[in-house]
Each structure stands twice: as structure tokens, then as C-alpha cells.
Structure 1
Amino acid sequence: MGVNFLVVGAGAVGGYFGGRLLEAGEDVTFLVRKKRKEQLERTGLVIKSVKGDVTFNDPPLIEKGDSGKFDVILCSTKAYQLEHVLPDLTSFMHEDTVIIPLLNGIQHLDMLTRSFKKEAVLGGLCFIESTLTQEGYIRHTSSGHRLTFGEINGEMTPRVQMIAKTFESTNADVRTSTHIMEDMWRKYLFITTLSGVTTLFNTSVGPIRNSTEGLAFTRRLIQEISSVMQHSDTTNSGHFEEKAWKQFMKLSDETKASMQKDLEKKLPVEADHLQGYLLQLAEKHQVNTPYLKAVYTNLKIYEQSRKG
């Protein structure tokens, strides 16, 4: 018996991984807003990728209010969209539906487990450099396209194995994890740093690395975030710190965080979900974070000017 997927959103993340599932012949439907639905009906779902282009002229699309029950829900919205989407998901779930979130950060897990039964929610993350073009195409520009998921308690359960088997033939690097919370915290440290420095200095990684001051700021920001993480329910944040630094140093000069790309397009950003949530933890545990506050302040000023 096959697994049917509902992908929430058909943007740079959901559209990519959902498209790769479709390419492999899997049962996939995209839950999209009206404007995106109309766009996809005109253009099809188009992926332009260094790993191979693919186009689906008539991708399966549904909107809020439509019917259907799904085994796996891949939640790939932006964090600021999630609370508006959650009420719509209940009608698409059956007793054993599994939700795999692919959002950045950690805070969304609390939102999901408050809205649905805790055992329905897995941990998940992805590493991919992709963006949605003005035409609505998904442009994937680097070789990485990894998706990782697993049980929050670390067990390797039959349902995780079944979902993993479904992904086996996809043109994507899909992995299971028995330490998914560590994986999510590790990515949280990295993506908050990358999005923080590229938005603060309004540039790609190269000029930041080529500046003594930029490198020093980046290192200090990693250290601050790691200090906050030591008060979370995860461990080995010192190990995370060194890995994040090495990962940052290995990036191509042209790399920008998706948040920086959103900022350049004058789109909303996930400041509260990423940097803001860490600042809440820092205040709770009395951790001094001036560099993180500088990043967050810059993003909040951007949000204010954008609304203006």
C-alpha cells in the first residue's frame, strides 16, 4: 500500500521536494493559496536545478476547503504563515497521519504539538539553496538537496522506515535520523548565523569572510547563540559551535541565506521565529547577547520600513 503526500506550499522547498516525489511516480498533492494555484495552472510546476530540470504541466493542486485524506503532510511554509495554515490541516488528516515540518528553527514544533496530537508530529529539516523566481519557477542553484526526518524521541519506528522507503527512488538526498532534535538545533545555529550576518551586512558570504571585522562578528554571533542553546533541551552545543563555524567557512562566496533573498525582494522575514525566539530564551536564562540583538534590531527595522 502506497503513501500519499500532502505538501503544504509549492514554493522553493515544498515545490522542490514534492516535485522530486512526483518525478519518482509517488502520490503527491499540493495545498496552495489561490494566487499560487492560478500561477501553477498556467505554468505548471517547473524545477530548474543543477540536479536536473523537471516540469509537471498539471500538478495535483487543492485549496483550503477542498477534501482529501493524506498519510504524510510535508509542511514547508514560512514560519509566519504557519499559524494561518494549521486550522486548514485537520480536514486533511486521518487517525495515523504524520506531519513532517521542514521549517527553519524550533519554535514551530510547539505550535504543531499544541494543534495536533503530539505523536503525529515528527522532526524534520532540509538543506537546500533554492528560490522562487518571478515567473513562479523553482530555481535550485547548488548541489545540496538534503531532507532529514525522524521521531522526536529518537526511535526508528516502522512509519519512519515506510516513509523513507517511499523516498528511495527520488532525485534528492533523503535521510532518517535517530537524533533529529540535535540535527534541528544544529541547523538552527547555522541558519540563524547565516541569515543574521547576510541580512545585517546586506551581502553574500564572500565579503563578510574577507573582512576581519565581519569574521569576528560572525564568530561572536555563533558563540552567543551556542550559549543560549546550552540552556535548551539539547546537548553538545560546543560541538555545534565548531561545526557551524566550519560550515560557514566552506560556503561559496556567492551564498546568501534565504532570508537575505526575501529581504532583497521586500518580502516578510522570519525574524521573530529565528532570532526573536532565541532572544526570548536568552532573556529567560539571563544570557547576554548584544550581537544577536543587533541582528534582530536590523530585521525589525526592516519589517517596520516594509510596512510603512
Structure 2
Amino acid sequence: MGLKFLVVGAGAVGGYFGGRLLEAGENVTFLVRSKRRKQLEQNGLVLQSVKGDATLYPPLIEKGEAGTFDVILLSTKAYQLPNVLPDLKDFMHNETAVIPLLNGIGHLDTLDQYFNKDKVLGGLCFIESTLTKDGHILHTSSGHRLSFGERNGKLSERVERIAASFEKTNADVQASIHISEAMWRKYLFITTLSGITTLFNSPVGPIRNSHEGQAFTDQLIEEIVTTMRQTDEPIKDDFADKAWRQFMKVSEETKASMQKDKEKGLPVEADHIQGYLLQIAESNELSTPYLQAVYANLKVYEQMRKDAD
């Protein structure tokens, strides 16, 4: 019998990868709010993608409805977790696995405390997608990669079963025995990219093409890696060099999703991304002026949103 997947939300990430699973014939249900449910029932789950368009009509449920699932794909924003987690326990059985696709690392502590730790896998994705005003999922670059795995580095039977479900999907999905390292590598890059694009209110190009922009980025990367080394996590010697090379390779038009959210006047994950690292730095008495500048800029933006309400 195949696995039953529950995708929490039908946004730019969960909607895309859940849609690709559904497109491949897998058993996928979306947990959505009533407004999004009406939109999907009327127009379908619409993927507009450089990898192939699709319009799908998935099963939809809201909190309080019945059903249990084998795998939960969780791709909400970190600040949405407190409102989302209470809805999930009714949809879980003893063997349900949770795959979080959030940016950052701090959510693992939250999930481990809320569920049994053995239920929570590691997970990450790389995709440039956004939700249009019509509720369509717009996927604009060739990358659509998702990785997941046991955080203890073992290739378990449940991971193999989940990987088998993804095999025929129109997406690059892989099980990894190095998922913890991969999550920290992504955390470094996302913290850097979101930091510089929000601070300078710019895509990567002008930042990278200026001496001052390059120097700031280099120092920010060094601060982040130094802070990460204060943890017990697998932070390898090549982290900074690889993050720098990745920064130099992305297109000039690249903006972090946090910058796009900021431009739309939406909430940002300042506390979850930059703030979490600043807590580590403070507890280890590290000086992090570049990271603090990034964080201060985001907190001022949050205050502006609050003042405008």
C-alpha cells in the first residue's frame, strides 16, 4: 500500500512539491484554510513552471476534519508554526513522519519538543517559486530540488519508502544520509543571501559588482560560520568557501525570498534566521557587527509594519 501524504498549506513550496507528487499519481491531501480551499476548488492547484505546467484538483481538508497520514510535508513560514502545529496531531498516527522544509534550523527544536523527536526528519529544498495574486504557483528557474533524511545519518526503511514515492515525480528529490550537514550549509547561504538583499534592498548583481558589497558579504559569511562553529553540528572547513562560490555563481537578478516578502510588505523570518544565530553568538560572547546590522534592518522593517497597522 502506498504512503498517504499530507501537505500543510498549498503555497509556493508545499504546493509545488505536493503538486508534483499528486501529478505522479501519489496519494496527496492538502491541509488549507477555508479561503485557500475555495480558491483551489474553483481554479485548481495551478503550477506555472519552466519544468512543465500542471493544473490539479487535489483532496483538500481543513483543521478539525478527519484523516490520518503517513508523511507530513511542512513548508510554512517559521512564524506560522505556533498556529499550525496544534492542527497536526489529529492527522498523525504512531508512525507518521514529519518532513520540515522551512528555512533555518531553529524550527527543529520546536518540532522536537512538540512531537516525539523520532518523528521529525531533516529536510530542505532549493526552488525559486512564488504565489501569484491569483493563487497560482509560479516556478521561475530550473532548480526544483528537495532533500530529506534521518538526522542521525542512517538510511532507514521509512526514508527509502518516501524516496520511492518521489521517484516518478517531475522534481529532483533525493534521500540523503548527510541531511544535517546539508541543512546547515543551506542555513549559511540563506542567512547570507537574505541578509545582504534585504539590507541593501537590492538583487545580488549590484552587491556583487561593488567592492563594498563583496567585502560586506565576505565578512558576513565569516561571522556566520564562526557562530555556527560554537554548536555541536557538522560545520566543515569548506563551509565559508562554498558559500562564497555559491554567492558568486547565482544570477544577478537573484533575490532571497525574504527580500521578496519585504517588498510585498509581508512578515519576515528575522528572528528565526538571523536572530537564532545572534542568540548563539551572544551566549558565546562573539562579536558579530555585520550580522547585527542585518538583523537591525529587519527589525526596523518589522516595526514599520507594526506602526502601519
Deviation at 1:238, TM superposition (A): 3.1
Tell whether 2:15 aligns with 1:15: yes
1:74–1:100 contact (8 Å) kept in structure 2: yes
Distance 2:136 2:286 in 1: 42
Distance in 2 (CA, whole Å) between partners of 1:193 and 1:7 is 28
**8 Å contact kept, 1:4–1:28:** yes
Gaps of 5+ in 1: none
TM-score, normalized by length of structure 2? Answer: 0.98
* 1:47-106 alpha-carbon deviations (Å, 9 max, x no partner): 1111011111x3211111111000000001000001211111000001100000000011
Q: Could you tell me how far 1:164 is from its partner in structure 2?
A: 0.3
The answer as to whether partners of 2:227 and 2:286 remain within 8 angstroms in 1 is yes
> Deviations for 1:239-286, whole angstroms, at most 9, x for unmatched residues?
111111101110001111000000011000000000000000000111
Residue 156 (structure 2) pairs with residue 157 (structure 1): yes
Alignment correspondent of 1:62: 61
Corresponding residue for residue 212 of structure 1:
211
1:185 counterpart SS class: helix
What is residue 178 of structure 1 aligned with on the other side? 177
Q: 2:305: which partner in 1?
A: 306
Corresponding residue number in structure 2 for 1:103: 102
- 2:135 counterpart residue number: 136
Structure 1 partner of 2:48:
48
**Structure 2 counterpart of 1:34:** 34
Q: How far 1:41 moved relative to its partner?
A: 1.9
Shift of 1:236: 3.6
What do you get for the CA RMSD once the two structures are aligned?
0.8
Q: Which residue of structure 1 lines up, in the alignment, with residue 119 of structure 2?
A: 120
Distance 2:173 2:234 in 1: 24
Distance 1:112 1:18, change over 3 A: same
Number of equivalenced pairs: 307
Report what 2:281 is aligned to: 282
TM-score (norm 1): 0.98
**Match of 1:10, as an amino acid?**
A
Q: Deviations for 1:219-253, whole angstroms, at most 9, x for unmatched residues?
A: 11000000000011223443111111101110001
CA contact (8 A) 2:205 2:253 kept: yes
Aligned-pair identity (%): 70
Measure the CA separation in 2 of the matches of 1:220 and 1:35: 44
Give the Å deviation of 1:43: 1.8
The 2-side partners of 1:74 and 1:94 are apart by 15
Cα deviations by residue, 1:127-175 (Å, 9 ceiling, x for unpaired): 0011111111111111110000000111100110010000000000001
Counterpart of 2:187? Answer: 188
* Deviation at residue 12 of structure 1 after TM alignment: 0.5
**Which ranges in structure 2 are unaligned for 5 or more consecutive residues?**
none
Query: In the alignment, which residue of structure 2 is the partner of 1:252?
Result: 251
Q: 1:53 & 1:149 partners in 2: Cα distance?
A: 25
Q: Is the 8 A contact 1:226 1:238 kept in 2?
A: no
SS at match of 1:272: helix
- Separation (CA, whole Å) in 1 of partners of 2:11 and 2:32: 9
Distance in 2, matches of 1:198 and 1:110, equals 27
2:39 and 2:78 mapped to 1: Cα distance?
A: 22
**Aligned match of 2:221:** 222
Give secondary structure in 1 for the equivalent of 2:238.
helix
1:188-247 deviations in Å (ceiling 9; x for gaps): 000000000000011111111111101110111000000000011223443111111101
Tell whether 2:64 aligns with 1:74. no
Instruction: Give the partner amino acid of 2:73.
Output: L
Offset at 1:42? 2.2
> What SS does the aligned partner of 2:6 have?
strand
Aligned-partner Cα distance in 2 for 1:181–1:24: 28
Instruction: Give the partner amino acid of 1:146.
Output: R
Q: How far apart are 1:112 and its partner, in Å?
A: 0.6
Q: Secondary structure at the match of 1:71?
A: strand
Residue 90 of structure 1 aligns with an amino acid whose one-letter code is: K
Extract structure 1 runs of 4+ deviating beyond 2 A. Answer: 235-238
Other structure's SS at 1:160 match: helix
Say which SS state the counterpart of residue 259 (structure 1) adopts: helix
Give the match's secondary structure for 2:95: strand
SS in structure 2 at match of 1:119: helix
Report the counterpart of residue 201 of structure 2 in structure 1: 202
